[in-house]
Amino acid sequence: MVNKPLARARLINQGVAGPLQIAADTGSPAHAQEIAAYFGASQGQDFPGAIAALAYRLGTATAVDAVRQAFEQGLLVRGYPMRGTVFVTAAEDLAWITELCSGGPARSAQTNRPRLGLNDAHIDQAAQVLHDIAVDDGTTRTELFASFEQDGIPMGPGCGYHLLKALLHNGTVAYGPVVGESARMENRVMIAKKWLPHGSDLEGKFNGDKHAATVELLRRYLDSHGPATLRDAAWWSKLPLGKLRQAFAEIAEEYVSWNEVSGAPGSAAAVPGEELWVREDALPVIAEYDKAANKPRLLAAFDEIILGYQDRMYIVPEAHHADLVPGNNGVFRQAVIAGGEVIGFWKRQGPAAKRKLVIEEFKPFSATREKRVQARFNAYPFATA
């Protein structure tokens, strides 16, 4: 069931409808890095969409350039740190989050190896090939896959993807600078130990202490995604709920119960049976921007507002939830939000000079709303031409 006050609070805390407290110069590559670090990890499957999602949180006319520069400068990377899917992280966070969270997805993916005609020795062989060809400035996936085949590694359907994903899971690889445009946009494949900051692995950051790392990741999640439950954090990270409860005990004093905060927007509409936690110092900001959070906005397809929680129906009307992912194929549509809920889907048609907004409305928009949504489209930080 849609919970509009909760949705507005999350939109504000995630920086979609309110300012994030960032120390870096506004609109700089370092600003993009700090936003990524604030989230810990954010969805990155659709690379142009991931760039846009960071860019509209920067909120400047040159935000897309800043995000691309952050990748170029090694401040941002993509990888497979958790849930067996692609995320954007600050460079200093990829290694330790991957070590902490990728074990389950890596073991699950490993079961597919025999079906593909691959074995563990092929993973080691692929790592050596990578080190041979990506010594200085990395390589592209096309070049890497061709080199795998030349070295005698089986490269039937799905093999290249499996090998690269295994190298991302085990910390051999990171996705670095942006290459290509439009549908061909991708990251260069970099040797992680050369590209990521020294000492950014679990040992370097936390002396190998997984509990301390869990505390830090939980803090990042609740800070950026709150009000949220520990069960949300467990779903998001795939870390055991029991371990997250132990971690929360160490930082509980930093948070208050959204369910119980007297006078807080949405306190009477809290999620039944689940304690929603939010930073106490976030409450004044949420109250200040609550009205502004009603304004129409366009989201990228895989924005954390949609994919950062176990139950998406806090913001997506139940009648339209199936339309968000047609056929449940894992490809999410781009949402139009207003008033604390998704009110339709959007897409663009045509090249950059003739972009046209196409909207699928749940209910007819008023003329005023149409004008405001069009203004959002005109200002949207498209990452591709």
The one-letter amino acid code at 218 reads L
Is residue 361 within 8 Å of 370, Cβ to Cβ? no
Domain spans in the chain, listed from the N-terminal domain onward:
27-198, 206-289, 292-379
135-164, pLDDT tens digit by residue?
889 999 999 999 999 999 999 999 999 999
Domain spanning 206-289, CATH architecture: Orthogonal Bundle (1.10)
pLDDT confidence of residue 263 = 58
365-384, pLDDT tens digit by residue?
999 999 999 999 999 999 98
Range of weakest confidence among 62-71, 236-245, 345-354, 364-373? 345-354
Please enumerate in sequence order all residues whose Cβ is within 8 A of that of 223, keeping only pairs 6 or more positions apart, or say none: 13, 38, 279, 282
164-206, pLDDT tens digit by residue?
999 999 999 999 999 887 667 899 999 999 999 999 999 999 9
279-328, pLDDT tens digit by residue?
999 999 999 999 999 999 999 999 999 999 999 999 999 999 999 988 77
At 324 the three-state DSSP class reads helix
The residue among 274 and 79 whose pLDDT is bigger is 79
Note every long-range contact of 132-136, with CB atoms under 8 Å and residues 24 or more positions apart, other chains counting. 134/189, 134/190, 134/191, 135/191
Mean pLDDT, range 66-91, rounded to an integer: 97
The residue among 278 and 23 whose pLDDT is bigger is 278
Distances, alpha carbon 300 to alpha carbons 48, 55, 58, 87, 361, in Å: 9, 11, 14, 14, 17
The residues facing 85 across adjacent strands are 82
- Largest Cα–Cα distance of the chain, in whole Å? 66
- Position of tokens 């069009």? 374
Half-sphere exposure of residue 341: CA atoms within 13 angstroms, side-chain side: 16
What number of other Cβ atoms are within 10 A of residue 260's Cβ?
A: 11
Distance separating alpha carbons of residues 102 and 96, to the nearest angstrom: 10
pLDDT confidence of residue 2 = 94
Residue count (the chain): 385
How are the residues of the chain apportioned to helix, strand and coil, as percentages rounded to the nearest 5?
50, 15, 35
pLDDT confidence of residue 183 = 66
Distances, alpha carbon 238 to alpha carbons 97, 139, 325, in Å: 12, 31, 21
Distance separating alpha carbons of residues 233 and 211, to the nearest angstrom: 15
Q: Using the 8-state DSSP alphabet, how is residue 146 labeled?
A: H
Instruction: Please check the confidence at residue 344 and state whether its pLDDT lies above 80.
Output: yes
105-141, pLDDT tens digit by residue?
999 999 999 999 999 999 999 999 999 999 889 999 9
Confidence band of 44 (pLDDT split at 50, 70, 90): very high
Task: Note the pTM of the prediction, 2 decimals.
Answer: 0.94
At 48 the three-state DSSP class reads helix
pLDDT confidence of residue 269 = 53
231-289, pLDDT tens digit by residue?
999 999 999 999 999 999 999 999 999 988 855 555 555 666 689 999 999 999 999 99
Nearest-10 Cα torsion for 253, 81, 299, 176: 120
Note every long-range contact of 233-237, with CB atoms under 8 Å and residues 24 or more positions apart, other chains counting. 235/309, 235/310, 236/82, 236/83, 236/308, 236/309, 236/310, 237/82, 237/83, 237/101
